[in-house]
A and B are shown apart, each in its own frame.
Chain A
Amino acid sequence: MWSILLSLLALICGIQAIRAKQLLAAALWLAGVSAAVATLLYSLGAYEVAVIELSVGAGLVTVLFVFAIAIAGEEAMSARLILPRLLPLLLVLGLLAVLAVGGRQAGVNSEMLAVSRGQLATDQDFATTHWQERGLDALVQIGLIFAGVMGVLGLLTEQAGFVGAKRNSEELGRNQENSPQLPQVPPVPLSSHSSLSSHEFSP
């Protein structure tokens, strides 16, 4: 019963996230999807993933979305679509039909799944599986987190990149226009410098 309610909650939040006019409301609906999915994962017995999904999906990502929307601001979008309105719906319904046929085929092979479940009954704890069996994944995650930190720096640095360089050049030009004109200094010939230095440092 609870799983049905949580599933409906996740689907309704997902639909509302797409239908919402305001970006901030869409981000909050996405947090609702994350919370519902985390609860479903917890009910499945995947406690570690549920905690990570709740803290990262409903917490960190939502904060980042709110921050990015606050920087960029809302934009009124026109009603013109790239694709005809019914085409995405037809494509999705076609995919649903393919999935239904595939699911029916998978239902026939449920006995094979039961046999394979008996053969693969050597499930270890999460730490052993994650750090020993999937050690390469952990290394990849470290690289990804480093890339994510760079992304956060790009998000936080408003003056970065082309915009920052453009603003700096504009400010530099404005300062040069406003600065007082300095008197022209006549150039000094190089020969006098060389003779002076050779005279000073000669033994």
Chain B
Amino acid sequence: MDLLIYLATKAVIFIIFLIALNSLMLGKMNLWAIGNIVYFSLGSFITGFVSNNWGINDNRLYLLFLIVPVAVSIVSLIFFYASRVFKQDFFLFFSLFFIELNFVANKMVAGSSGYSHIIRPSGIQSDLSLLVFSVILLIICIVWINNFDKSRVNKLHSVMRDSEILAFSWGININKSQIPLFIASAILSGLMGVMFAFCTYGADPKLFTTNNMIILFALLILGGIDSIQGAVVAGLIFVFFTYSLESALSSTFQIHAPKITQIVFGILLIVIPFIMPKGLFGKRNFQ
């Protein structure tokens, strides 16, 4: 039962992270924001740093839900302006560089094994309470995204995504319109990093790499672009299917099991766009 609660909490955290990625970055702005893992990692490592070095605990740990958004907003602004300069493919290269930089920085600050023994704040110290808290966050997130989809702001983003010339000819300032969405996505990712650190009691640099991000993107493509259902399916598969697959393979392939899992997801990334261009619940084709 404990394992199920732990996996369910992890799944909810990844679902929110994937909503931030799928419904905001990819869905609204058409940005393959592989760098979102940096915000997630930043959230985890700030939690680890604060918990391990400053020794604060109990209610004061809730301050992380303020500190992390501020830190992540600053980093995401740098990323945003990079996305204006380095469009599409170059943005991807820039993101990869940023992930590597983040990996090195994390190892330098926290050591190669990262942080462990992270304390949870009072109120969400038990696994069940953390799961309930995560589910509440997920519900808030889904209500907001649904509301966003009905709003005029969403229609403007459709114009920007479809044709920058058209958007410009209507006097839409693309940069100004996209910044809040970009930062919102980053903040959600950062907060999920905090939740992940609370959930696993640690922050390991090896978890926040390009490989894991590629797996998540493969699953998002399977779930479908710009859909909450797609993010839910992707999050559930990422946690439960990966766990089951690695458990099943570990007896035969031992330490190679995670690598084989990655290969399975890599094949998925290549095959899905051909057989299901919209994924399971996608609003539009994978481009």
A-B interaction? no
Please report A residues at the B interface, Cβ cutoff 8 Å: none
